[in-house]
Structure 1
Amino acid sequence: MTHMFQALDQGDEQDPQYNDAVQFSPGRYRIHPTHINTTRPPPSPGEVNERTHLLLGIKPTKNQFQEWINVTWKRTLILNVFPVAVVLAWCAVPFPTYVPSNTIKHFGFLNDINIFHLPNHDDNPVEINFWFFLFFYYGFYNAIALLMVTKMFDLYSLNWWPKWLGGYFAYTVFWLLSLISGVIIYLYTSLVKYNLTWVLLTFITMNMPLLVGFIVIRGQTNRLNYRRSLTLHQKTFFDRRQLRNPLPKSYVRFLWFCFTLFIVIAAFIAGEAYAYVFLTTPEAHSGVDAFVYVYSWLATIYILDAVTEYIIESRVKSYPLQFTFKLYFFMIYFIFYRNLFARLRDPDQYILIQAASSLWVCIFYPLCMTRTVHKNLVCYIGLRKDYDEYKKQCGRSFFIRNLAENATMLGFICWICIIHYGPNYEVYPYFKFIEEGNPFDFNLTLRMSGIIWAFELASAAITRTIFGKVFKHSISKDAVKDFDEHPEMVVAMIVIIIHVLQDMLMALLNLNFKDALGSKHKP
């Protein structure tokens, strides 16, 4: 283990050695032993331990992990049901709400259940308690978002994080700073009522670790140059300019990681804007509108996913990050697609968008796995993977798609029921359906969502059968191997699913705070 750290430490900073050290094996990245300069002195006590995980306690034991991944139903519970259950419990906790006359309307289950659907006849929506929103609703949402970024640093492994700062301390400070900023926004601005304000605040919070990491790495000038103990070969073939101010590979790799993570975080800002344009508009949309919405957003997601995957594979060289980033993008696509169902008015609209989706799955993925497509990609696009590696990549993509597909549909069906029949009915106007006189129907949405999910499960089963019979490839067994080799991915995937589901609900919450600056009902 010590030798591996030394190889990483020195190899990252010397181009030939680093390129030989990090190699791609079928479906995975491994660190292979290379020549180590034994004359190099050991790292000084003040040097950063780049392999240290930031939050060590949030990791399953080896025995727990083996139980999770090797049993199908347990794996389903951990990756699909558990993160959805966390989000449902979060959104089911009742908000303290007030009618515009400033008298309390209800708080949880302390009042009679009949008032849960008591209509608000005032022209203004009910008001919610800001401090409950800040410390519980937004606080938990922001904590998960920050945890997701932290787990990305853990997957990256070489995190350049200062040991003196510590993972738990930094996490707590960043989280508290976001809440303090929220209080300032509430007390001194009128921006508190906009969902985008809180989304941007979370965006800034998630980028704080990147900013601190970048400042630290720039401050360590000794890390931005080659070690003084150069080999005779290096002294002979490197000119003086190269020896005076070269950029180590680990530094460049970290910059690429920061850039990619910034794109990933910014993607949910784009998703919020896209949802605002389509989902929150009061008028009904046609089936063609829904079709364009779904597949324009799908194209955006595929482009972002392709860009990040290329950077991670060719520059950062981290298989776990490839896996989790792809899950993130699939989750973003599917959760916005699911919430579209609440704005469709008849079965024909559901059939139109789902028929294309099912055909896409059953035709596109098996077609992509053929040797002909692989050969064309090698010849015309410059793909460097052999066919076995490429086949595993296609299977991995489909496995992640299935995971995101099922988690988002389970979450959507459950939370429309919880919100529709629960205490938070009036703070989510998007899910009020026909009760408020709009043309949307709760029963139709629920029924058609269940039918669509059945079709998705059927199309997934057909595609998996084609993979097994025609290509002799089991995507589930291959995923289990990935989890066994990279167990840290499991926690990161759970956090990603929770964050994206929360992000959608956060975008649809009606932020009308009692006594907020600019409120019409201030005493």
Structure 2
Amino acid sequence: MFQALNQGDEHDSQYDDTVQFSPGRFRIHPTNTNTNRPPLPSPGEPDERTHLLFGIRPTKKQVQEWTHVTWKRTLILNVFPVAVVLAWCAVPFPIYDPSGTIKHFGSSAYTNVINIFHLPNHDDNPVEINFWFFLFFYYGFYNAIALLMVTKMFDLYSLNWWPKWLGGCFAYVVFWLSSLIGGVIIYLYTNLVKYNLTWVLLTFITMNMPLLVGFIVIRGQTSRIPYRFSFTLAQKTFLERQLRQSKYRMPSSYVRFLWFCFTLFIVIAAFIAGEAYTYVFLTTPEAHTGVDAFVYVYSWLATIYILDAVTEYIIESRVKSYPLQFTFKLYFFMIYFIFYRNLFARLRDPDQYILIQAASSLWVCIFYPLCMTRTVHTNLVCFLGLRKDYDEYKKQCGRSFFIRNLAENATMLGFICWICIIHYGPNYDVYPYFKFNEAGNPFDFSLTLKMSCIIWAFELASAGITRSIFRKAFKHSISKSAVKDFDEYPEMVVAMIVIIIHVLQDMLMALLNLNFKEALGSNYKP
């Protein structure tokens, strides 16, 4: 019975015209036909097109100044966010001489479970760091960026369900302070403070606080608004009696928000899954071969593509927000590439680099141009029900490759710079992952740096070849298309910068050796 209704919704719009009945009259409010914008509000609903943040929304003129020139666009989207992260990780930690050999704490069963999240290559006597510096500066800044990223996602969504008394800035400060208070409680009353995953999960909870508040508010407001089903001609003919038995329905804005919450939860949880996946690979005692690294990289790549496809479908067909599509895709590409980069610090010989990079270059030069062909578009239309015309589909393929290049360059620039800063800087002892002093491993810092630069050169070359194919064979410039998107949606630029900063910080946060002085479970006694 409801299959025909769903088909009607899909053919017309995800959000039907809403009929609101009031005493003696009713009114029909049409939805917005532009799938890149939120639908117009139904009677009795607030306007979803209002924005949460105004202070960090650049104007169209500012964005044009940043993005219309290639070197400025590179500076804003690649160099600036990386520079912020490098400055953050270069600030020296207050450290103390080790007070003795650090032993694992807790019961043996508990320790065996949680140790899979503890990074390898830790020294027998790791230095002790000051917890309060970590909490208020290192973790505090990291958590502030993570929360800002989620706030920008709400802003791109144009959230109107946020309570006025809980303004954007006030809520941001409250959530941030709550996470720091949670960190103090963990430090004072638990022995989980020394595990990286503890702090990652605390940030995960912090990032989901706006989702919880928004859901509670929208649930309370929606329960007081009556809505009736609207019917197409066919539905009125065949289904009116059955559908009239269901007196109320959820407003379209509520449905959009539920889909938005679900998608944002997937996006936030993806990094947790990625870290667990990485730790399993890094903490296995045996040395990994080139085939192992190859399987690791491309199994994670497949996971990222699946998650990206699911979220893109939801955002495009249910939430209907082009800026969110753009930024979520950047987030997934950043996650993939940052894990890929840090794998370089655990490879054993140049052959492993060659195997991984050869596959990557061939993938780029063959897969993306192949996807842009009319044949692939026709098959997608015929067999998978794609509803985009060829020009729109070609733009989508180009957008995906532009975002891939952006994530590729930002993560490689960040990796090369921070291994230099950490290896030669004051924080050498608190990042044992980048010490490159593993016994029996000839692949030292200089060789890792050299091979990483060579890989980056190959990536730039393969990207240049692919862009040239796009221009000559398909008459499409991905940079010009991206600039048009920035002009139309200037609010995306700040969100993209924050995403890049957050993902880079997240990896460094996961690789930090958390051995706090005077922490519960430490051998140090004042």
**TM-score, structure 1 as length reference:** 0.87
User: Is residue 448 from structure 1 mapped to residue 451 from structure 2 by the alignment?
Assistant: yes
The alpha-carbon deviation at position 436 of structure 1 amounts to 6.5
Alignment of structure 1 residues 292-331 onto 2, 5 Å: 292-331=295-334
Q: Distance in 2 between matches of 1:368 and 1:50?
A: 35
Alignment of structure 1 residues 19-418 onto 2, 5 Å: 20-24=31-35, 29-30=36-37, 50-101=48-99, 123-221=124-222, 224-226=225-227, 241=244, 244-281=247-284, 283-418=286-421
Task: Work out whether residues 130 and 514 of structure 1, in 8 Å CA contact, stay in contact via their aligned partners in 2.
Answer: yes
The alpha-carbon deviation at position 279 of structure 1 amounts to 3.0
The alpha-carbon deviation at position 502 of structure 1 amounts to 0.4
Alignment of structure 1 residues 431-510 onto 2, 5 Å: 431-434=434-437, 438-510=441-513
The alpha-carbon deviation at position 99 of structure 1 amounts to 1.1
The alpha-carbon deviation at position 226 of structure 1 amounts to 2.4
The Cα offsets for residues 134-173 of structure 1, whole Å up to 9 and x where unpaired, read as 0000000000000000000111114411111100000000
The alpha-carbon deviation at position 48 of structure 1 amounts to 5.1
- The 1:217/1:415 distance shift into structure 2, 3 A limit, reads same
Task: Work out whether residues 228 and 248 of structure 2, in 8 Å CA contact, stay in contact via their aligned partners in 1.
Answer: no
- The 1:53/1:347 distance shift into structure 2, 3 A limit, reads same
Aligned to 2:3: none
Aligned to 2:107: none
Q: Distance in 2 between matches of 1:12 and 1:327?
A: 33
The Cα offsets for residues 52-76 of structure 1, whole Å up to 9 and x where unpaired, read as 4333211223332210011110011
Q: Distance in 1 between matches of 2:423 and 2:131?
A: 22
Which amino acid is the alignment partner of residue 192 of structure 1?
Answer: V
- The 1:306/1:221 distance shift into structure 2, 3 A limit, reads closer
Which amino acid is the alignment partner of residue 391 of structure 2?
Answer: D
Gaps of 5+ in 2: 1-14, 21-26, 101-120
Task: Work out whether residues 69 and 483 of structure 1, in 8 Å CA contact, stay in contact via their aligned partners in 2.
Answer: yes
- Please say which of residues 508-517 and 435-444 is displaced more in the overlay: 435-444
- RMSD of aligned Cα (Å): 2.9
Q: Distance in 1 between matches of 2:327 and 2:283?
A: 29
Q: Distance in 2 between matches of 1:68 and 1:17?
A: 43
3-state DSSP of counterpart to 2:193: helix
Percentage identity across paired residues of the two chains: 84
User: Is residue 420 from structure 1 mapped to residue 423 from structure 2 by the alignment?
Assistant: yes
Task: Work out whether residues 131 and 516 of structure 2, in 8 Å CA contact, stay in contact via their aligned partners in 1.
Answer: yes
Q: Distance in 2 between matches of 1:417 and 1:395?
A: 34
Q: Distance in 1 between matches of 2:67 and 2:28?
A: 36
Q: Distance in 1 between matches of 2:433 and 2:122?
A: 17
Q: Distance in 2 between matches of 1:17 and 1:508?
A: 56
- The 1:81/1:282 distance shift into structure 2, 3 A limit, reads farther
Task: Work out whether residues 330 and 400 of structure 1, in 8 Å CA contact, stay in contact via their aligned partners in 2.
Answer: yes
Q: Distance in 2 between matches of 1:78 and 1:280?
A: 36
The Cα offsets for residues 432-485 of structure 1, whole Å up to 9 and x where unpaired, read as 003776443101110000000000000000000000000000000000000100
Task: Work out whether residues 398 and 478 of structure 2, in 8 Å CA contact, stay in contact via their aligned partners in 1.
Answer: yes
Q: Distance in 1 between matches of 2:78 and 2:227?
A: 46
Aligned to 1:107: none
The alpha-carbon deviation at position 123 of structure 1 amounts to 2.8
3-state DSSP of counterpart to 2:55: coil
3-state DSSP of counterpart to 2:34: strand
- The 1:245/1:457 distance shift into structure 2, 3 A limit, reads same
Which amino acid is the alignment partner of residue 74 of structure 1?
Answer: K
- The 1:409/1:17 distance shift into structure 2, 3 A limit, reads farther
Which amino acid is the alignment partner of residue 292 of structure 1?
Answer: V
Task: Work out whether residues 291 and 353 of structure 1, in 8 Å CA contact, stay in contact via their aligned partners in 2.
Answer: yes
The alpha-carbon deviation at position 30 of structure 1 amounts to 4.4
Task: Work out whether residues 46 and 160 of structure 2, in 8 Å CA contact, stay in contact via their aligned partners in 1.
Answer: no
The alpha-carbon deviation at position 20 of structure 1 amounts to 4.7
Q: How many residues align?
A: 483
Q: Distance in 1 between matches of 2:122 and 2:183?
A: 30
The alpha-carbon deviation at position 21 of structure 1 amounts to 1.6
3-state DSSP of counterpart to 2:437: helix
Q: Distance in 2 between matches of 1:205 and 1:133?
A: 17
Q: Distance in 2 between matches of 1:251 and 1:12?
A: 14
Task: Work out whether residues 37 and 320 of structure 2, in 8 Å CA contact, stay in contact via their aligned partners in 1.
Answer: no
Aligned to 1:112: none
Which amino acid is the alignment partner of residue 359 of structure 1?
Answer: L
Which amino acid is the alignment partner of residue 96 of structure 1?
Answer: P
- The 1:455/1:101 distance shift into structure 2, 3 A limit, reads same
- The 1:332/1:223 distance shift into structure 2, 3 A limit, reads farther
3-state DSSP of counterpart to 1:434: coil
3-state DSSP of counterpart to 2:162: coil
Which amino acid is the alignment partner of residue 134 of structure 2?
Answer: F
Which amino acid is the alignment partner of residue 57 of structure 1?
Answer: G
Which amino acid is the alignment partner of residue 270 of structure 2?
Answer: A
Q: Distance in 1 between matches of 2:285 and 2:508?
A: 18
The alpha-carbon deviation at position 346 of structure 1 amounts to 1.3
Task: Work out whether residues 60 and 487 of structure 2, in 8 Å CA contact, stay in contact via their aligned partners in 1.
Answer: no
The alpha-carbon deviation at position 219 of structure 1 amounts to 1.1
